[in-house]
Amino acid sequence: MDITKMTGYFEALLREQLQRAAHLAEDKPLDFTARPLTIGLIDGDGIGPVIMQEARRALEVLLAQEIADGSIVLRNIEGLTIENRLAKGESIPADVLSEIRKCPVLLKGPTTTPGGGTMTSANVTLRKELELFSNVRPVSLPEAGIDWTFFRENTEGEYAIGSRGIEEEGLLAMDFKVITVAGTERIARAAYEFARNTGKKHVAIVTKANIMKKTDGLFSRVCHEIAKDYPEIQTEEYYVDIMSANLLNPAIRSKFQVILAPNLYGDILTDEAAQIQGGVGTAGSANTGSRYAMFEAIHGSAPRMIEEGLGDYASPESILQAAAMMLEHIGEAKKACALRDAVAAVKASGIVASGSREGATCKAFGDALLARLR
């Protein structure tokens, strides 16, 4: 084992992350309600093009006037496919990233991350490149008293340099977790500002600070420090294992309103929460920063559905919920409500794309949706 080589590699990573931490000050935030505005539409992989087609059709109806007068432009962005990424050996090909940067707002279908190798997830790369530090995922089930909004830190934790760890073949492997003060401050501030602005009275901080005493300990301390600026909001902290159990506990889960978590724990808990709501196909998510905002379905590209010839039966609900979040973010709250109401009405009518041939096709769901939006 070449300890000197390994420690040199770690030193380079450490210096890189120290430099990043020192330059986390945000740019002047963009006003996403200003016009003109360009919205980039990215199909992605697998079932992505299928569900994105229905989101595109819905937006073209909802934003017809804005598109006609040029205040909003819908721009298709090509090339963020697994085939193109593998051919070029880049998580996001440079020419594609250049086109993405021209669009302050993005609606994105799921992308495939190849197993093994060193290629990073396109989502992780986009979050870093565009500084999309806040991942917001709402989960609602009124009949069960559930109205949760998750604020997941989106650029740090195990995802910062987790794929760049060290391995001694046949002996051990080590990956790295990074938490910064500035990175934690901005996600905590976003969560508490949301709570205050929406009248929420409870924020649950999620960590494993009893085990990860340095990283999660720092996240905990910074969040509690921010909480002092919001005395009207009750703050409690839960370890991630018990929090995952609490979300399943009818006796306690209705107390939760805003849930604030580091990257990995937020990733896991939001999938659990979406399953409680009805499955990952029912939930959308927002990835926001000061200069860019990206909205997407929370599920993957479902390659197995494509292999089995079931792609046309994919549910567009998750990407439609993401589109509604996008409309809210750009100041089109009434259109967001109209989209959500239309989705609910289609499902209530018995038209459900279940991912199997027994259910409706994605296009049939979209046709019924458009009939209610027009």
Q: Please give the sequence-ordered ranges of beta strands (E in DSSP) within the chain, or none if there are none.
A: 37-42, 72-77, 105-108, 134-141, 146-153, 166-168, 172-174, 202-207, 234-239, 258-261, 284-288, 293-297
Q: How far apart are CA 372 and CA 374, in angstroms?
A: 6
pLDDT tens, the chain, 374 aa long: 689 989 999 999 999 999 989 888 666 789 999 999 999 999 999 999 999 999 999 999 999 999 999 999 999 999 999 999 999 999 999 999 999 999 999 999 999 988 777 788 898 899 889 999 999 999 999 999 999 999 999 999 998 887 789 888 899 999 999 999 999 999 999 999 999 999 999 999 999 999 999 999 999 999 999 999 999 999 999 999 999 999 999 999 999 999 999 999 999 999 999 899 987 767 788 999 989 999 998 788 999 999 999 999 999 999 999 999 999 999 999 999 999 999 999 999 999 999 999 999 999 999 999 999 99
**φ/ψ of residue 201, rounded to 5:** -120, 5
Provide CB contacts within 8 A for 352, sequence distance 6+: 315, 359, 360, 365
Q: How far apart are CA 76 and CA 19, in angstroms?
A: 35
Of the candidates 148, 134, 224, the residue with the CA atom closest to the CA atom of residue 186: 134
Question: Which residue segments constitute the domains of the chain, with CATH numbers given?
Answer: 31-132+289-374 (3.40.718.10), 133-282 (3.40.718.10)
Angle between helix 3-22 and helix 181-198 axes, rounded to 10 deg: 40
Question: Which contacts of 345-352 are long-range, i.e. CB under 8 A and separated by 24 or more positions?
Answer: 345/372, 346/372, 347/317, 352/315
Global pTM reads: 0.84
Amino acid 25: pLDDT: 65
